[in-house]
């Protein structure tokens, strides 16, 4: 799995710190983190896997207080700004629901989750 991660400092120089095992993904993470600019937020971009494959490992990091989104969908970050700084209020993940799945959809979903190793 290739990844790039960026973190917004909330004090001191208040820089976006970025790293990863793929320079392009680290650059994308840094660009998005700077655009949002909310202190103590971080962004991970990855290829070669799915967000659910690493979600539990991220949740296990003691410094992680919450996760707004883990998706392969297009997403929009809802940001509030005050005189002190910025905060993430939430994330719009993907598109609006279009209906209720049928039996064929249930079978596809369960098969997909098993294929990516998320469910046994």
> How far does Cα 20 stand from its chain's mean position?
15
Q: In the prediction, which pLDDT does 116 show?
A: 83
- Check pLDDT > 80 for residue 120: no
Q: Are 57 and 39 in contact (CB under 8 A)?
A: no
- Check pLDDT > 80 for residue 119: no
The model's pLDDT over 5-27, given as tens digits with 9 standing for 90+, comes to 999 999 999 999 999 999 999 99
Q: How far apart are CA 5 and CA 47, in angstroms?
A: 12
Alpha helical stretches, state H, the chain: 23-36, 51-59, 103-115
What pTM does this model have?
0.81
Domains in the chain, start-ordered, CATH in brackets?
2-115 (3.40.1520.10)
């Amino acid at each position: 799995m290739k990844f790039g991660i960026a973190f917004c400092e909330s004090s001191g120089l208040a820089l976006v710190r970025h790293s990863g095992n793929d320079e392009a993904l680290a650059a994308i993470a840094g660009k998005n983190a700077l655009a949002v600019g909310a202190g103590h937020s971080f962004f991970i971009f990855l290829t070669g896997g799915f967000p659910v494959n690493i979600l539990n490992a991220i949740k296990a990091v003691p410094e992680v207080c919450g996760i707004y989104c883990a998706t392969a969908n297009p997403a929009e970050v809802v940001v509030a700004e005050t005189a002190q700084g910025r905060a993430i209020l939430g994330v719009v993940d993907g598109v609006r629901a279009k209906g209720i799945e049928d039996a064929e959809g249930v079978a596809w979903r369960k098969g997909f989750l098993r294929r990516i190793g998320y469910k046994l």
